[in-house]
Chain A
Amino acid sequence: MGPTGRIESIAGAQTRLRMGIAVDSIGFGIQIVWLLLLAAVVDSVFVDGDDLAAVIRPLTAMAVLPIATAGLAIGSQWLLASAGNMVTTDLRSSLAHDIAAKGPTEVERLRVGSLATNITITTRAIGDYVARFQPVRMIAVIGPTLVVLAVAFIDLWTVAIVTFASAMLVLLLALIGRRTRDLTDLRQAELTWLGAFYLDMLSGLPTLRAHGRQTDATAAISEVSRRHAATTMEVLKSAFQTSLVMEWASTAATALVAVQVSFRLIQGHTSYGNSLAVLLLTPLFFRPLRQLAAEYHVGQAAGSAASELTELLEPTGPAASDETPETESDPIRVKPAHTSAGTTTTTASAIAPIEFQGVSFSHGQELVLDRLSFTVEPGQTSMLVGPSGAGKSTVLALLMKFSEPANGRILTGTQNLADLDARTWRSRVAYVPQRPHLFMGTVGENIALAEPGASPEEIEAAIHSIGAESTLLSLPEGLHTEVGERGHRLSTGERQLVAMARAAMTSSELLVFDEFTAHLSPINEQRALIALERLCAGRTTLLVAHRMSTIAIADTQIEIPTLSPVVSGA
């Protein structure tokens, strides 16, 4: 998909782009007329000896025409910027939906920093391509054509000169351009990488300071910047060659035309008026080309940006619209909700056992789970135990369909989890991660995350049901208390209870907890455990924990064995 591949599918954007270009072309035509008028008035004074009164009418027209050009320029900008906005908006919304559908595993793999850049900045680069580069590219064809048409009526020799110069120009640019494109791709990759690098360094600044290494980090930044500058300088060196050629073509053509017409003037083969007209029009022939060169980086950046976004959008893009049967090789596939709703809701009422049958999973090269099998009985609280790094969190990620098993299957009742739509499945599960994320907003909004329409009474009921009223309802502004960024205005214990209340809000029949007491002090842990016990009642629960106190409430334990390196090499 090219940067503007999408534009055709966006109603109105294409039309605005075309209209904008048309308006721009008219503006360009008026500039030609203005210069022809100037040549005519100079001619009538210089050759015919006319006085000011004789030329006052064309002069007045020349004073008015630029105002019309201005109006057209503003109008075309309005049209073009709207087209660019439409494309940007469309891309952002597709990306946001796509990334959300891909889920946490993909977000982690693709990095939050780069994804945020892609969603906010890269999409704008493509919008700019439509609003800025595309029109300039069109005018670079239309403008010179108009000039040649005008000149053809006046002086064919000049047509020959500008045609020759522009042919040379195209040839030279083609030679230089390819190299520039490769380097620009490299530069774009470097830019994205630099963004992630800075974020990493800045996030790690407390650590660097704790180790007294901030000065060395500053040196590293300087080094990386220098290397980046070297790459960019390479690109620009070629870009300068482009502008050198541009400058040369335009200047040389002007000089050639001037000398050529002056020789023919002496011989009486042409008139002064015609000579001046072509001299004035020659630079105008090259002006759109120079503008194209100036905006060339916008086009290049968009090209690189587009390929980056295409990679992001492709895997789920076509899959989401196709209703082809499930293939196990596509782990991040998302089926449209309506196709699976009928098959899944039939069993939703009954609490089915969860069964892992010979499930294997690899993280890159490393085998994390090897033919793991176990069953979680309905209504029971089961606990995953095993040494650190044995893959307990991976089991939960598979159960949440954040990832899909490489081998084996996970059953809920008689249904294979792989056949279920991820969203439908997750709506039946309440999940409390190790470090629950609180979003900017109020306590109430955070609790009602999964049930956005919930009334304050329902939220309070959820809080009561886990016995957290003394903590959460006694906050300064109760449910309206702002949690701050990442919930930093609440204590760790309060954050954990908000996450528990979130789970209590849902009518999910399966609860999944990942080491949720790992960061809690004994008092908070006690509160969380009370909440947990109340939550678990009557539901199937799977939890990861290694605290003795948590073990007490579990009905069964499921052992996850560690894999020895020998096994992972097999």
Chain B
Amino acid sequence: MIRLAQILGKNLWWMAATALLAFFSHGAGLALVAVAAYLIAKASTVQSSADLALAITGVRAFATFKVVIRYVERYVGHLATFRTLTRLRTWFFDRISRVPMPSFERATRGGLLESITTDVDILSSFPLRAAVPPAVAAMTVVAGAILLGWIDPVLAAPVAVGSGIASLGLAGISRWAIGPTSAELGRTRSEMSSATVEMLDGIEDLVAAGREDLLADRLDAFDTREANQTLKLSILRAISKSLVLVIASATAITAFAIAVPMVTASTLDPLLLAVIPLVCIAAFEAVEPLTAAAEELQASRVAMRNLDALTAVVEPAVPDLVRPPATPTAVAFHEVSFAHQGGPPLLDHLNLEIEGGSHVGITGANGSGKSTLVELLLGWHQPTRGEITIGSVDVAKAHPAEVAALVGVVLQPDHVFDSTVADNLLVANAEATTDSMMDALSSMDLRDTAETDLLTRPTGPDGSSLSGGERQRLMTARALLTEAPVLVLDETLAQLDQTTARKVMRTIRERRRGLTTIFISHEAEKLVGLDRMVDLGSVNGAGNAHEGSTPQSR
């Protein structure tokens, strides 16, 4: 939890303020009950209402104070929570965006969503729900004990002992029963979510195979588990709450039983007799929320661990970068070998030099390492040996963001954000103007239809409102907008028919004249008119990248 405190920083002051306000509110409640009990006891022994003036004023003052403070406390508390929420969301996204790509890829999509929403939400309620209640309970119990001790020191004992037992009991139940159950429930829900996302992603295949029932079947197993754990948790919570109730009652009765002989022996003012059990009960009202607090604490721990595990190793913060000028920049792979951990070698002593400003086609069969080449060039994976340079920059030594600024890319697969066409283009170049965006789109043969403005056209989730070809061309237009010194187009043409592919090729070549551009495709016939062709497939594991033929047809 120290970790969380570090992340929250100044937000901790808000937490402390909330705890103090909550204590005042509980304290006022306790005082109200004590004074009211004293008031009626006194009223039954005096003749004139003038004798009650002080007590009546006390009752009114504490009542008003309690209401006002309570409202302020809730407002401040929730403000603290939301500041925490924003802080944590930003913190987590910043971290996850700097997690090295291999680890990022290992994390699954459904699980990720679960982490960022659920875990971050849990953590953001930590101040109000987990940290504040124990502080308030401690202060209130101490205040109650002081009040009773002031009446007679012996009377403070039951509250002290009772609250001690209650705290230990609650801590035990939450540590050994509620905590593990709630963690299991969290896991079940996360797995259920992942499995549901997986099934829904494959719905086309399921429906085509007539196996719609599989979704319900998979869900059913998780549902049974979730239901059992939810039931168990509800019962454990009831046990925990009942424990506090039983101990509170026992404390009140014990304190009362101690006080009665004192009254009989006249060592205690009888007017205070009713005050004693009532203060005990009022003090325990602050102990009751501890059940939920202990659970929140456990959940926060788990959430923090999850988020930390997900973002254990991160790259340094993204430095401020100046957009590199679009000048001819050479790219070189020198003796590069690469294999995934424990996997077969994907690249073996690869030597490839791409002249600055040249247009090069790289072809090769699946598994020949074309996409690996791109990921190595972007610095997402480190080669097991050899070095890669872009101009004078050594990829291994540069920050990935620095490399990203040098290399514009269409990934395979690339992501279309669920927004507008314009927003997707702006991802590549935040400063792009409407004209330059329209220019890039029309160069890809994408134009406004009669009734829709192309730039404001919604793309749908992951580009679902676009056809396969439109999507590819939008991605290519986006890459063209980067005006990066080096542009890599991975399988940009795969979805396009021969005629469109050639047209697109020609436009790209014109726009990228004098700038290094690498076309990657498994279809050599689509790569026409380039300065040089490299067949990666024939050299996998062999040594050097072989020169292929250069089709010059236009």
Give 16 A-B contacts (CB < 8 Å), ordered by A residue.
A38-B252, A81-B231, A100-B206, A103-B207, A104-B204, A120-B193, A194-B117, A210-B411, A215-B97, A225-B89, A279-B37, A389-B470, A433-B205, A439-B214, A449-B206, A546-B497
Cross-chain contact B318 with A215 (CB below 8 angstroms): yes
Chain B residues near A522 (CB, 8 Å)? 365, 522
Separation in Å of the B505 CB from the closest CB of chain A? 14
Contact for A402 among B74, B204, B449, CB less than 8 A = B204
Q: Which of B44, B71, B202, B427 contacts A211 (CB 8 A)?
A: B427
Take A222-B89, A266-B47 as given contacts and tell me if A63 and B452 are in contact as well, using a CB distance cutoff of 8 Å. Answer: no
Contact B113 A254 (CB under 8 A): no
Q: Are B427 and A81 in contact (CB under 8 A)?
A: no
Q: Is A243 an interface residue when CB atoms closer than 8 A count as contact?
A: yes
Interface flags for B63-82 (1: CB within 8 Å of A; 0: not) read 10011001100110011001
Residue from A113, A275, A436 within 8 A of B113 (CB atoms): A113
A49 to B, closest residue via Cβ? B264
CA distance A363 to B495 in the complex (A): 20
A201-230 near B? 1/0 per residue, CB < 8 Å: 111111111111111111001100110010
Q: Is A97 an interface residue (CB 8 A)?
A: yes
How many angstroms from the CA of A298 to the CA of B239 in the assembled complex? 22
Closest residue on chain B to residue A229 by CB atoms? B82
B415 touches A244 (CB 8 A): no
Whether B40 pairs with A265 at a CB distance below 8 angstroms is yes
Decide if A524 touches B409 in the complex (CB within 8 Å).
Answer: no
Instruction: Pick from B133-141, B215-223, B298-306, B384-392 the stretch touching chain A.
Output: B215-223
CA distance A46 to B264 in the complex (A): 9
Digitize B230-265: 1 where CB-to-A-CB distance is under 8 Å, 0 elsewhere: 110011011101110110111011001100110110
Tell yes or no: B20 within 8 A of A by CB: no
Bound-state CA distance A263–B55 (Å) is: 12
Give how many A residues have a beta carbon under 8 Å from the other chain's beta carbons.
161
- Chain B residues with CB under 8 Å of A217's CB are 93, 97
B196 contacts chain A at the CB level, 8 A cutoff? yes
Q: What 0/1 pattern do residues 485 to 500 of A give for CB contact below 8 A with B?
A: 1100001110000010
Q: A221-B89, A266-B46, A389-B470 are in contact. Are A113 and B197 (CB under 8 A)?
A: yes
**Cβ–Cβ contact A202 & B109, under 8 A:** yes
Q: Known interface pairs A85-B230, A210-B378, A222-B90. Does A450 touch B211 (Cβ–Cβ under 8 Å)? A: yes
Report the bound CA distance from A465 to B478 in whole Å.
44
Q: B184-223: which have CB < 8 Å to A?
A: 189, 192-193, 195-216, 219-220, 223
Task: Judge if A276 is at the interface, Cβ distance under 8 Å.
Answer: yes
Q: Is the CB of A214 within 8 A of B203?
A: no
Residues of B within 8 A of A263 (CB): 43, 49
Q: Taking CB as reference atom, which chain A residue is nearest B86? A: A225
Within B292-328, the residues touching A (CB, 8 Å) are 318, 321
| Inter-chain contact A243/B216, CB cutoff 8 Å | no
- Nearest B residue (CB) for A70: B242
Q: Does A350 sit at the interface, judged by CB under 8 A?
A: no
B373 interface residue (CB < 8 Å to A): no
Whole-angstrom distance between the alpha carbons of A205 and B404 in the complex?
13
User: Does residue A339 face the partner (Cβ distance < 8 Å to B)?
Assistant: no
Q: With a CB–CB cut-off of 8 A, which chain A residues contact B226?
A: 88, 124
Q: How far is the CA of A113 from the CA of B212 in the complex (A)?
A: 18
Contact A63 B207 (CB under 8 A): no
In the complex, are the beta carbons of A103 and B219 less than 8 A apart? no
Given contacts A92-B223, A100-B207, A120-B189, A196 and B36 within 8 Å (CB-CB):
no
Question: Considering only CB atoms, which chain A residue lies closest to B204 in the complex?
Answer: A104
> Given known contacts A51-B260, A524-B365, what 11 new A-B pairs fall within 8 Å (CB)?
A46-B263, A82-B231, A100-B203, A104-B203, A120-B189, A121-B193, A211-B404, A211-B409, A222-B89, A244-B67, A433-B205
Contact A427 B210 (CB under 8 A): yes
CB closest chain-B residue, reference A72: B242
For A121, the chain B residues whose CB sits under 8 A away are 189, 193
- Cβ-defined partner of A426 (8 Å) among B94, B112, B210, B500: B210
Query: In the complex, what residue of chain A is closest to B95 when comparing beta carbons?
Result: A218
Q: A565 an interface residue at 8 Å Cβ cutoff?
A: yes
Whether B234 contacts A131 by the Cβ 8 Å rule is yes
Contact check, B116 vs A502: say whether CB atoms are below 8 A apart. no
Q: Which residues of B contact A212 (CB under 8 A)?
A: 318, 321, 401, 404-405
Q: Is A365 an interface residue (CB 8 A)?
A: yes
Question: With A and B bound together, what is the CA distance between A80 and B252 in angstroms?
Answer: 30
* Given A45-B260, A200-B417, A366-B449, CB of A66 within 8 Å of CB of B245: yes
CB distance A42 to B273 under 8 Å? yes
Asked whether, in the complex, the Cβ of A52 is within 8 Å of the Cβ of B273, the reply is: no
Answer whether residue B60 sits at the interface, using C-beta atoms and an 8 A cutoff: yes
CA distance A107 to B201 in the complex (A): 9
CB of B270 closer than 8 Å to a CB of A: yes
| Interface residue from B70, B207, B257 paired with A247 (Cβ < 8 Å) | B70
Residue from the list A42, A208, A221, A247 in contact with B274, Cβ < 8 A: A42
Task: Tell whether A160 is near chain B: CB-to-CB under 8 Å.
Answer: no
* Alpha-carbon gap, A492 to B482, bound state (A): 30
Q: A116-B200, A254-B36 are in contact. Are A388 and B260 (CB under 8 A)?
A: no
Is residue B383 contacting chain A, with contact meaning CB distance below 8 A? Answer: no
Closest CB in chain A relative to B120 CB, distance in Å: 9
- Name which of B46, B278, B409, B461 has the most chain A CB atoms within 10 A of its CB: B461
B74→A240 contact, CB < 8 A: yes
Give, as a whole number of angstroms, the nearest-CB distance from B119 to chain A.
12
CA distance A271 to B47 in the complex (A): 14
Residues of A within 8 A of B55 (CB): 262
The verdict on A195 contacting chain B, using a C-beta distance below 8 Å, is yes
B144 is an interface residue with CB less than 8 A from chain A = no
- Do the beta carbons of A70 and B245 come within 8 Å of each other? yes
Across chains A and B, which 10 residue pairs bring their CB atoms closest together, nearest first?
A388-B469, A437-B202, A70-B242, A521-B365, A100-B212, A569-B450, A262-B43, A450-B209, A212-B404, A81-B234
Q: Kindly report which residue of chain A lies nearest to residue B210, judged by CB atoms.
A: A427
Contact B97 A255 (CB under 8 A): no
Are A423 and B210 touching (Cβ within 8 A)?
A: yes
Q: With A210-B409, A450-B211 as given contacts, are A63 and B196 in contact (CB-CB < 8 Å)? A: no
Complex contact A214–B210 (CB within 8 A) = no
Query: Which residue of A63, A74, A92 is within 8 Å of B219 (Cβ)?
Result: A92
Check if B354 is an interface residue, CB within 8 A of chain A. Answer: no
Whether B215 lies near A100 (C-beta < 8 A) is: yes
Give a binary string over B107-140; 1 marks a CB under 8 Å from any A CB, 0 the rest: 0111011001100000000000000000000000
Report which of B41, B249, B260, B401 forms a contact with A52, defined as CB distance below 8 A. Answer: B260
Considering the complex, give the chain B residue whose CB is closest to the CB of A107: B203
- Closest B residue by C-beta to A34: B249
Name the B residues within 8 Å of A34 (CB-CB). Answer: 249
Asked if B39 is at the interface (CB within 8 A of a chain A CB), the reply is yes
Contact A437 B205 (CB under 8 A): yes
Min Cβ gap B18→A in Å is 13
Q: Which of A66, A78, A515 contacts B235 (CB 8 A)?
A: A78
**B94's closest neighbor in chain A, by CB?**
A218
Give the contacts of B367-417 with A (CB-CB under 8 A): 367-368, 378, 380, 400-401, 404-405, 407-409, 411, 414-417
Given A92-B223, A247-B71, A569-B450, is A262 in contact with B40 using a C-beta cutoff of 8 Å?
A: yes
**Does residue B553 face the partner (Cβ distance < 8 Å to A)?**
no
Let me know if A139 is at the binding interface, CB within 8 A.
Answer: no
- What's the Cα separation between A81 and B230 when bound, in Å? 7
How far is the CB of A294 from the nearest CB of chain B, in Å? 10
Q: Does A252 lie within 8 Å of B63, measured CB to CB?
A: yes
| Chain A residue contacts of B427, Cβ below 8 A | 207-208, 211, 213
Chain A positions within 8 Å of B448 at CB level: 565
- CA separation between A243 and B202, bound complex, in Å? 47
Report which residue of B36, B193, B215 has the largest number of chain A beta carbons within 10 angstroms of its beta carbon.
Answer: B36
Asked if B161 CB lies within 8 Å of chain A CBs, one says no
| CB nearest neighbor in A for B192 | A120
In whole angstroms, how far apart are the Cα atoms of A350 and B39 in the complex? Answer: 96
A439-469 with Cβ < 8 A to chain B: 439-440, 449-450, 452
**Does chain B have a CB within 8 A of A10?**
no
Instruction: Decide: B235 and A205 in contact? CB cutoff 8 A.
Output: no
